[in-house]
Amino acid sequence: MSADTLHIDVGAHALGLLEEPDRRAFEAHLAACPACHEELGALREVARMLDGVEPITDGWQARPETRVS
């Protein structure tokens, strides 16, 4: 796993979505990366706000993409 990939994994880690090997690699990276540490703090707040929110499944459809010419 590259350092670039580890920087991308901040959100996945905050949401608890990383597989065990990726979680360990990210946490090792986190110990030495102040930027990821700061971003993780902010994203943990977002994760707390989303905790318990159920997915919308009834009657909701995504809008089709609008093309601008």
Torsion of CA 33, 31, 49, 55, to 10 degrees: 90
Are the C-beta atoms of residues 28 and 61 closer than 8 Å to each other? Answer: no
In a domain, 60, yes or no: no
pLDDT digits (tens, 9 = 90+) for 13-47: 988 889 999 999 999 999 999 999 999 988 888 88
- What does the DSSP 8-state code read for residue 24? H
Give the model's pLDDT for residue 23: 93
Please state, in angstroms and rounded to a whole number, the distance separating the CA atoms of residues 35 and 3. 12
Query: By residue range, what is the domain housing residue 7?
Result: 3-50
Question: For residue 58, is it within any domain?
Answer: no
Whether residue 56 lies inside any domain: the answer is no
Q: What is the pTM of this model?
A: 0.62
Strands (E) in 1-69, as ranges, are none
For 43-60, what is each residue's pLDDT tens digit?
Answer: 888 888 888 877 777 766
* Residue 31 domain-assigned (yes or no): yes
Q: How many domains does the chain have?
A: 1
Q: Is residue 40 part of a domain?
A: yes
